[in-house]
């Protein structure tokens, strides 16, 4: 793994804490996607601090929402739909704002591919 310089490690830790906080809020509010934010928090902690990474991996949040995906490449249908619909909303913004049919076709291809990937390459459980 790359050695991240100290100021950047602090930024990764702060981004991880922000993502973690938003992910926790997402457990209660269905409009905020829990799983993608917790994945981002995990990545940020991994890049920022071994201590934060170890703490997060031992937390109930990680075990409940991410462990199955990380270890077995499996997700619940609810987790898949949460990730996919959040990504669709983010892709919809440039899709609506652009006049380029080529860009719209590219974005539509991305949407189709991510659904294909999630439902054929990631196992659906419980």
pLDDT one-digit tens code per residue, 53-105: 999 999 998 988 888 888 898 988 988 888 888 889 889 999 999 999 999 99
Q: What is the DSSP string of the chain?
A: -PPPPHHHHHHHHHHHHHHHHHHHHHHH-TTS-HHHHHHHHHHHHHHH-HHHHHHHHHSHHHHHHTHHHHHHSEEEHHHHHHHHHHHHHHHHHHHHH---HHHHHHHHHHHHHHHHHHHHTSEEE-
pLDDT one-digit tens code per residue, 41-51: 999 999 999 99
pTM: 0.70
More confident residue, 7 or 18: 18
**Range 14-28 average pLDDT:** 93
Q: Determine the pLDDT at residue 3.
A: 56
**Range 114-122 average pLDDT:** 93
Give the integer Cα–Cα distance in Å for 66 and 73: 10
Q: Determine the pLDDT at residue 126.
A: 79
77: Cβ–Cβ under 8 A, 6 or more apart, which residues?
A: 124
Asked if the model's pLDDT at residue 30 lies above 80, the reply is no
Q: Which residue has the tokens 């602090």?
A: 10
Asked if the model's pLDDT at residue 113 lies above 70, the reply is yes
């Amino acid at each position: 793994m790359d050695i991240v310089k100290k100021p950047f490690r602090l930024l990764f830790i702060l981004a991880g804490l922000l993502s973690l906080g938003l992910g926790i809020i997402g457990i209660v509010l269905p409009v905020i996607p829990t799983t993608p934010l917790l994945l981002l928090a995990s990545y940020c902690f991994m890049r920022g601090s071994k201590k934060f990474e170890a703490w997060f991996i031992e937390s109930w949040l990680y075990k409940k929402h991410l462990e199955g995906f990380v270890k077995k490449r499996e997700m619940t249908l609810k987790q898949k739909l949460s990730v996919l619909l959040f990504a669709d909303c983010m892709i919809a913004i440039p899709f609506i704002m652009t006049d380029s049919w080529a860009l719209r076709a590219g974005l539509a291809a991305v949407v189709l591919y991510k659904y294909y990937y999630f439902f054929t390459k990631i196992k659906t459980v419980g």
